[in-house]
């Protein structure tokens, strides 16, 4: 265990007061494939405090899932090159030994996946799968672990947990399976929980139940949560901070209200404009982002969003296609975009007017 976090003073240029519980710095995840190197994540940095929720938004191929598999060390080691720094409570994870990671996984940091049916073993009872994690990390007896599994199932709201503990995942409904998965992830009271699209496959009423559950559990245990989703509505309901990813990079990050209310990056703006709402006008077409996400084998130079960006030609010297925009936080809200604050105010005004009215 680290002997107090305050002693390890980092001499880096940024003047952050303290090292957050989870700190990711300039993370790069590159896969080698037959066609070449896929730059799935290309220089990503963020921090997360205990008891807070970071929502990571992005479309398929944006690198959001890959990032989190890399944090847990679950990437394919044969074909993946990692670079950068991931500090969990002061401990470096990227260079940690497999054995040390195993002791952390499921214990200090755990993960919930999207498709609970596929992600739970069909060959073992729900109770056994929860108990297994507990036994592995606490050395509890079978009986204790089973009792703990029942307790966890009760806590996540499974009716008759002492009966259902012996059921197999296929005997559970979709919502109950996701609850069981959450019970399994939380059985050792982890300090970091990574939820990868945990509600995407669920119906809205069940999704609402699961979101409530996560919120309640977080309040109870003070867990830090990374919530990965493509659904901005879910983010708006759950996240304290939001990080928007595009093409393996972070394009915008900041507090939820700032990012969703006053987006600074054209991509975030585009995502918001793509989503129909329950009370917006219906006669106007949606404003989708043209084109398709970039190939990460040969990503566009400069800003990766520029081929789809409506504002790229408004920036002088063709900066967008030549130079990578850096993410500079202003009041904790940062965007990687070459537009000036003034340009943004001007061009984004229409959107804001439509939203607020």
Smaller CB separation from another protein, 112 or 336 = 112
Buried b vs exposed e over 130-151: b needs ≥16 C-beta within 10 Å? bbbbbbbbeeeeeeebbbbbbe
Instruction: Give the span between the Cα atoms of 273 and 174, in whole angstroms.
Output: 31
Beta carbon of residue 12, minimum distance to another protein (angstroms, whole number) = 30
Closer by beta carbon to another protein, 4 or else 139:
139
- Bridge pairing between strands 91-92 and 333-335: unpaired
Largest CA distance in the chain: 69
Using the minimum distance from each CB to another protein, give the nearer residue, 168 or 221: 168
Alpha-helical segments (H) within 124-252: 126-138, 142-155, 161-164, 174-186, 204-221, 232-238
| Closest approach of another protein to the CB of residue 10, in Å | 28
Residue written as token pair 């920036």: 315
CA distance 327 to 329: 6
Query: Is residue 284 helix, strand or coil?
Result: coil
Asked whether 86 and 70 are in contact (CB, 8 A), the reply is yes
Shortest gap between Cβ of 259 and another protein (angstroms)? 7
Least distance between another protein and beta carbon 60 (Å) = 6
Q: How many residues does the chain have?
A: 357
Nearest Cα residue to 65 out of 240, 194, 241, 254? 194
With respect to another protein, which residue has the nearer C-beta, 87 or 185? 185
- Residue with smaller CB distance to another protein, 11 or 357: 357
Nearest-approach distance from CB 338 to another protein, in angstroms: 21
Minimum Å gap between C-beta 121 and another protein is 4
- 177 vs 338, beta carbon nearer another protein: 177
């Amino acid at each position: 265990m680290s002997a107090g976090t305050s002693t390890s003073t980092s001499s880096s240029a940024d003047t952050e007061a303290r090292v957050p519980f989870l700190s990711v710095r300039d993370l790069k995840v590159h896969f080698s494939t037959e066609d070449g190197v896929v730059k799935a994540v290309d220089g990503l940095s963020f921090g997360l405090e205990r008891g807070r929720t970071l929502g990571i938004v992005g479309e398929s191929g944006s690198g959001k899932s890959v990032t989190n598999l890399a944090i847990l060390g679950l990437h394919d080691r044969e074909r993946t090159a990692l670079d950068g720094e991931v500090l969990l409570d002061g401990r470096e994870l990227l260079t940690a030994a497999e054995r040390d990671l195993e002791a952390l996984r499921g214990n200090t940091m755990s993960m919930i996946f999207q498709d609970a049916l596929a992600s739970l073993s069909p060959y073992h009872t729900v109770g056994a799968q929860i108990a297994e994690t507990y036994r592995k990390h606490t050395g509890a007896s079978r009986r204790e672990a089973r009792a703990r599994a029942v307790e966890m199932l009760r806590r996540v709201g499974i009716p008759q947990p002492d009966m259902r503990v012996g059921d197999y995942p296929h005997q559970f409904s979709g919502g109950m399976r996701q609850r069981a998965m959450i019970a399994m992830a939380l059985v050792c009271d982890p300090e970091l929980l990574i939820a990868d699209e945990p509600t995407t496959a669920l119906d809205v009423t069940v999704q609402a139940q699961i979101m409530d559950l996560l919120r309640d559990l977080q309040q109870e245990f003070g867990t830090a949560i990374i919530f990965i989703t493509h659904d901005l509505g879910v983010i708006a309901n759950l996240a304290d901070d939001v990080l928007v990813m595009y093409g393996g990079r972070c394009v915008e990050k900041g507090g939820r209200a700032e990012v969703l209310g006053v987006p600074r990056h054209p991509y975030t703006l585009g995502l918001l404009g793509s989503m129909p709402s329950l009370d917006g006008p219906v006669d106007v077409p949606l404003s989708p982002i043209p084109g398709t996400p970039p190939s990460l084998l040969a990503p566009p130079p400069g800003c990766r969003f520029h081929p789809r960006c409506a504002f790229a030609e408004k920036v002088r010297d063709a900066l967008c296609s030549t130079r990578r925009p850096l993410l500079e936080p202003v009041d904790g809200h940062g965007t990687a975009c070459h537009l000036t604050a003034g340009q943004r105010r001007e061009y984004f005004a229409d959107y804001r007017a439509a939203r607020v009215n």
